[in-house]
Structure 1
Amino acid sequence: MNHFTIFASKNDTDDIEDKLSDILAKSFTIEKNDNEYLLKSRGLFNKYRCTINILTEDTNPDYFAKNIPGMMGFYNSIPFKDEQLKEQVMIQISVLNTVVAIEMDKEMTDDHMQQFIKLLASIGGIGFLSDGTLLDQNGMVIVYPNGESGPSVFRPHACTRKIHAHEMTSAQGEARKNRTIAFLMDKEIPYASSLPQLPPVENLQFKSQEDIARRAVALLIVIQFACDVAQRGDIEESREFFTNMLRTYGVHEFLTEHEKFFLEAQHPGAQEAVNISWQYEAYWTLIWALGLVEELNFPDDVCDCEYAIQVVSRCETFEQFYGQTVLRSKEDIVDEADKIYRLHWACVDSRINGQEAPLALNESVVMERRRGLFWMIGYQGEEWDTISMDT
């Protein structure tokens, strides 16, 4: 191994040069060139050269914009045995703003490594080995690349500068945002670093499992009526049939006011029928959250409408339908909301620039998924028909 990297959250780096001198000057001569330090071993034999670069968010913003999300993606992909530790690591990475990158021209010896661990301890932060092993500031392993926890009792640390910069946000939200950006980078989908993060889980007003289930059934029924309208079916017969279904499942009150007006209109509009029919995609997120869909696939195509109908139609009562649901974790739901939010930005950015959406993203699918996910998390208290689609 000839690389070792120290990541830290620091208000400034003015003291790092003194720390380098205090710890490494006995073994190396040190020459400075801006934020790069060239170290040469003092011994007559086994000559070594070492380069140390210091990067900060202020001096190298592009590095942090690219590499911090990449680092988040790397550790997010590791199968941590301890999920709480994973969350702590993600939070720590999200507030890093300083890098001390060390490169030797030969393999590091144990003696060199001990000196670099002393430097890590004096700077604070975490140490990154080339195989992905993560060390705490005392050189103890936090996590191995296979997900096994090390002996470190790790707690994240953020400097006051980073804390104040996130006063209107949160470390949790920043970690989530960076995980999404890592996902987008992996797929080479454009993203906007300036797009705000979503609030932490505890600050959102989640819908209950039963509310989601009743809303899902009510929505599916009104979608079926809308499909009949769009296909110029017998409106009165369809209206009577689906109104009876709403009563059978006891979900009429879970229609929006707009949907009630559409259902009761003497001449429901064809375009409105098409718009409501697209909400199959919003409904899909609801039954995903209820554990009835295994995963939300990449939104480049419409959902499986036949299956979407069957999950309700095979049940004779709401209670039977509700009994087969298992609500996903709030964290999983917000993660998907964050992802669809940023995918929506990519769709809009492509459209306004006259380009095809990346990876054939379907903007209509994306928008309706956003409606369902943002409604479930209670984002800004918005109602179903008025979910903001700003990016």
Structure 2
Amino acid sequence: MNGRGAAEAIDRRLRSERILQAEGVPFLAALPVIETAAEALKRSKEEVALRTLCVLFVAAKGEGLGEDLVEQLLGSYELRPHLTPVELAFVLDKSPSQHDRIQFTWRHEAAWTLLWALGFVAQLGKPAQFCDVGFAASTMAERTTSQFIEDSELRPIADILDQADLIYRYHWAVRNALARGQQIPAALDPGVTEERHHALNWLIGYQDQAWHHVTTDT
């Protein structure tokens, strides 16, 4: 990381820490900086849009979308080539376990983060409340795949990195509290925080990990 990159990364960390401080969220000053704009992966709008549709689709299946509708949407949105093997197996499973249903339903929070990156959601805010599942689902239901891609407007990588840095520090605070048996600060929700961190790490290409193998290290 050159001097300019280091300055960018440190400035981003300091901005995150000011937000956390204002919200009463503890932070670890020694926590490293994250990637810079020069280092981060620049995903295309189409790639992010297709991933968002896949995540919305599997989350809806997790929540109980009927099998007939699952088959219909799989065809009409032409998502089969874009689903991960794990997602496709879940989608094709006629009687998935309750555990799998719950895990995929949580993906709504990752989808919300991707919808923010595409401009459908105005702001993310603190990861303390569940997303608006109805609104998230409607962004897909009201559009074809091509319309969804066309209506997307990918945010600048600097904005995505700002959120990736911030969620990294939120997640540290959540895990630190859980490890110490303390109350989680500022009403942060562990599940929302985890899913947002997952989506943001994928967006910036953290360690070149594929969607289903993304880690949320803190």
Range class of TM-score, shorter chain:
over 0.9
| CA–CA distance in structure 2, aligned partners of residues 370 and 273 of structure 1 | 20
Matched, 1:278 2:103: no
| CA–CA distance in structure 2, aligned partners of residues 205 and 197 of structure 1 | 16
Q: How does 1:88-99 map to 2 (within 5 A)?
A: none
1:293 match: secondary structure: coil
Does the Cα contact within 8 Å between 1:288 and 1:294 map onto a contact in 2?
Answer: yes
Does the Cα contact within 8 Å between 2:55 and 2:110 map onto a contact in 1?
Answer: no
Partner residue of 1:253? Answer: 81
2:26 match: secondary structure: coil
Using the size of structure 1 for normalisation, the TM-score is 0.53
Partner residue of 1:227? Answer: 63
Matched, 1:338 2:165: yes
| CA–CA distance in structure 1, aligned partners of residues 75 and 29 of structure 2 | 47
Unpaired stretches in structure 2, ≥5 consecutive residues: none
1:8-57 Cα offsets, whole Å, 9 max, x none, are: xxxxxxxxxxxxxxxxxxxxxxxxxxxxxxxxxxxxxxxxxxxxxxxxxx
| CA–CA distance in structure 1, aligned partners of residues 23 and 122 of structure 2 | 21
Matched, 1:190 2:26: yes
Count of equivalent residues: 217
Does the Cα contact within 8 Å between 1:218 and 1:246 map onto a contact in 2?
Answer: no
Matched, 1:365 2:201: no
Rg: which structure is higher? 1
- What's the CA shift for 1:348? 0.5
Using the size of structure 2 for normalisation, the TM-score is 0.94
Does the Cα contact within 8 Å between 1:344 and 1:367 map onto a contact in 2?
Answer: yes
Unpaired stretches in structure 1, ≥5 consecutive residues: 1-162, 230-237
1:288-327 Cα offsets, whole Å, 9 max, x none, are: 1110001002111100001011111111x21112222111
The structure where helix makes up a greater share of residues is: 2
| CA–CA distance in structure 2, aligned partners of residues 242 and 384 of structure 1 | 21
- What's the CA shift for 1:202? 1.2
Partner residue of 2:124? Answer: 296
Greater RCO, 1 or 2 (C-alpha within 8 Å, sep 6+): 2
**Identity across the alignment (%):** 32
The structure where strand makes up a greater share of residues is: 1
Where do 4+ consecutive residues of structure 1 move more than 6 Å?
none
| CA–CA distance in structure 2, aligned partners of residues 308 and 289 of structure 1 | 13
1:203 match: secondary structure: coil
